[in-house]
Structure 1
Amino acid sequence: MRESAAERHDRLLDLVRGRGSARVSELAAQLGVSPVTVRRDVESLATEGRLDRVHGSVSWPGGGTTAPGPAGALAAPRPGVKPGTHPGPGPTGDTAADGRELVIGMLAPHATYYFAEVIRGAHEAAAAAGARLILRISDYRPQEDAGLAAGLLTAGADGLLIAPGWKEPDDPVEHGAWIAGLPVPTVLLERRGVPGRELDDLDRVCSDHGHGVLLAVRHLLGLGHRTPVLVARSDSPTAIAVRAGYRHALDALGLKSPLPVIDSIPVEADADGFEGAVRALRDAVVEGRATAALVHNDVDAIRIVQRLAELGVRVPDDLALVAYDDEVAALADTPLTAVAPPKHEVGRYAADLLVERLRAAANGHGDGEQTPRRHVDLLPRLRVRASCGAPAETTRQP
């Protein structure tokens, strides 16, 4: 079977991780492909921040031969900076204490779909503060987060915005402790630590997905529907939060779900699993057990609506549907009502909070210890369109 590009990338990363650095020609020989292919792969991986590239050679981010371990194994502060402190911006926020341009490092799991807008918000806030934002992408590989963060520090980051590449419920414990040991001010965004553990003491800015689910459920109930069915993924922190929010919303409203949560599976990952989810929802509608559904995420919702139509179930005539994410929901044949997390504002608030911490550090207040740490929850909005059968409007939350 022909090796995929992702598999080749994994082999390439393993080679560089083990050796620390390598020339393109050496990697081509080891991988059994042409130098042109390796250069193309290196370009892609370097853009994502997973490799450093210099004059025909590539190296592991941070310059070490292995990925950094937890806490203090990350890159040390630059010369002249005491351990445990870091140069911050001047009073105007546009330069570090030593006169350099302020640099904010950002680690995100992806640069498209949901996180594109988060990154854009952080970039705009950094620019408004006279700072430069540098970005690395983990591609949802939490085991590589620490190495990418080390690369950001080596590249000169004065503070970090961290959205780890967590996917599983246990990832914050298994792949998160190192974040608490970072030597610079750090803000988590769209991620929450486990209550009572190290990361719960960090600044964070998140969308309140539980509130977003509650908006959708209340809206559908207000249109006269019975308790909506949840169709959701389970492969990201947002998906896990949507599932938890659904349980809390039903408890708060004194409701019971008409059937268990239907597991949404991307059709490209498991065509049979996707078909099973669609048919479970179709059966619930035909049997009169469901008149409304909340679907995470937009892409799955659009595909589900298309397949339901082929199976004789029409949206919104037979089923009112609300999508979660509002990335592409408005572009469906029948524009989808959607919960819109405040992604842009999450990035902006997080960058503003980090700049505030860096200013405090520059003014001799450590990393901002004079000001309490903050957990900021921003409320999603419900954007009403044709898929729920209600007049189109935008419901704004304060």
Structure 2
Amino acid sequence: MRESAVARHDRLLALVRERGTARVSDLAAHLGVSPVTARRDVEALAARGLLDRAHGQVSWPRRPGAGERLTSGDGGVGPVLGLLAPSATYYFAEIIRGAREAAAGAGARLILRICDYRPEDDRSRTEGLLAAGAEGLLVAPGWRGAGDQAEHSDWIADLPVPTVLLERRAMPGSPLDGLDRVSSDHRHGVVLAVRHLVGLGHGAPLLVARSDSPTALAVRAGYTEALAALGLTSPGPVIDSVPGELDPEGFEAAVRALSAAITSGGATAALVHNDVDAIQMVQRLAELGVRVPRDLALIAYDDEVAALADTPLTAVAPPKRHVGRLATELLVERLTGGAESEDGRGDEEPRRHLSLLPTLRVRASCGAKSATTSR
């Protein structure tokens, strides 16, 4: 796949920031592009104020010094905040919305970069945010698999500006574990779902889940913890799910495994991550003769589009908008000195790990008589 100009610009900015000053010819060689392309890139970035250019070489622009302040997007004086997100749609759309609202309330400007769930691009995208003037960062790395954090994260703890980890949890003892972070407590969300289904007279539900995002992995881990905490035994192994549009055969295998468990009497309830998979599974299960909620009580996880299903789906709703808002407020505190202690010594307060609790929005798919919300 051909590299986009935005991705190439981010790599160029990362090289210049690392070196301080670089010749355009050297940048062309490292980027694997022609000198003409490198020169055009440099001119475009310099015109935006992201690089200083002189005599065939470029340098990292001077950062605002003491007493100076970059202007916010509305022309007022306020901090410039950078947000790295793996996506601007589905789950992260609400997180970005909350961050934008909090930034506006603080008179700050929010700038966004998307890594498209490519953790190898996280660093260059973040360098682009710094080059664009970000004085503080909200970072939601594009991790997918279980090993991505260990392979693609140590640099985050060394960023030169205040940083808040967003909707991600660091491994205990890792460099990232010392950063501020704000995230949803997915274990609690799974407990809500399991407890609700058991309260309706079902045994422990089956879990049908992806394994391609931190949320999916957290739901899987939370399922094991929830069953242990509630003294329950899983009716069967976790059913691995995949996006139907990317892997139709894998998706069909997951649907048939769930159908077999229901028709054999092995289970009467399921928790499905995520909404889109749950809606498509309900449709396919009906074609196989399994009806929701008559034959299967089902709860989805994410609550992005669950209410729009033919049979509105009960769903666990992580507090996405609040995650974005509180993370932004915390970052602004760090930047403005509001996170200092009140004892008069000016000591910085300890870093914070904020866990926000999901809610359960009850609808028709688990046999509910009316819509309610549980906490």
Matched, 1:8 2:7: no
Cα distance in 2 between the residues matched to 1:274 and 1:184 = 43
Listed as ranges, the gaps of 5+ residues in structure 2 are: 12-26, 53-58
For 1:375, the equivalent position in structure 2 comes to 353
Q: TM-score, normalised by structure 2?
A: 0.83
The code of the aligned residue for 1:285 comes to: I
> Does the 8 Å CA contact 1:88/1:158 hold for their aligned counterparts?
no
Are residue 393 (structure 1) and residue 371 (structure 2) matched? yes
Deviation, structure 1 residue 389:
0.3
Give 1:227's aligned amino acid.
A
Q: 2:317 & 2:124 partners in 1: Cα distance?
A: 32
* 2:187–2:226 contact (8 Å) kept in structure 1: yes
Percent identical residues: 63
How far apart are residue 249 of structure 1 and its match? 0.2
Aligned partner letter, 1:210: R
Sort the Cα spacing of 1:88 and 1:360 in 2 relative to 1 into closer, same or farther, 3 A: farther
Is 1:340 the counterpart of 2:327? The answer is no
Offset at residue 392 of structure 1 (A)? 2.6
Aligned to 1:121: 98
Deviation at residue 13 of structure 1 after TM alignment: 4.9
Q: Secondary structure at the match of 1:269?
A: coil
List aligned pairs for 1:47-58, cutoff 5 A.
none
SS at match of 1:136: strand
TM-score scaled by structure 1? 0.79
User: Conserved in 1, the CA contact under 8 Å of 2:316 and 2:361?
Assistant: yes
2:126 corresponds to which letter in structure 1? A
> What does residue 270 of structure 1 align with?
247
| Mapping for residues 20-99 of structure 1, pairs under 5 Å | 20=31, 78-79=62-63, 81=65
SS for the counterpart of 2:138 is: strand
Partner of 1:218: 195
Instruction: Give the drift of 1:361.
Output: 7.8
Name the SS for the 1:8 alignment partner. coil
Matched, 1:310 2:287: yes
Tell me, what secondary structure is at the counterpart of 1:166?
coil
Q: Quick one: distance in 2 between partners of 1:147 and 1:369?
A: 33
CA spacing shift, 1:187–1:298, aligned 2, 3 Å: same
Decide whether the 8 Å contact of 2:10 with 2:128 is kept in 1.
no
Name the count of aligned residue pairs: 343
**1:80, distance to aligned residue in structure 2 (A):** 5.7
Q: Distance in 1 between matches of 2:231 and 2:340?
A: 51
Supply the distance in 1 between the matched residues of 2:99 and 2:187 (Cα, whole angstroms). Answer: 23
Q: Please give the alpha-carbon distance, in whole angstroms, between the structure 2 residues aligned to 1:362 and 1:221.
A: 43
Which residue of structure 2 aligns with residue 199 of structure 1?
Answer: 176
**Partner in structure 1 of residue 115 of structure 2:** 138
The Cα of 1:8 is off from its aligned counterpart by 3.3
Shift of 1:270: 1.0
Give the superposition deviation at 1:359. 1.1
Q: Unpaired segments of 5 or more residues in structure 1? A: 1-6, 28-51, 65-74
Query: In angstroms, what is the RMSD of aligned CA positions?
Result: 3.3
Change in Cα spacing, 1:371 to 1:303, as seen in structure 2 (3 Å) is same
Aligned residue identity for 1:375: H
Residue 357 in structure 1 maps to residue 347 in structure 2: no
SS in 2 for 1:305: helix
- What is the distance in 1 between the residues matched to 2:260 and 2:319? 34
Structure 1 pair 79/351, CA: closer, same or farther in 2 (3 Å)?
closer
Taking a change above 3 Å as real, the CA distance of residues 104 and 297 of structure 1, as seen in their structure-2 partners, is: same
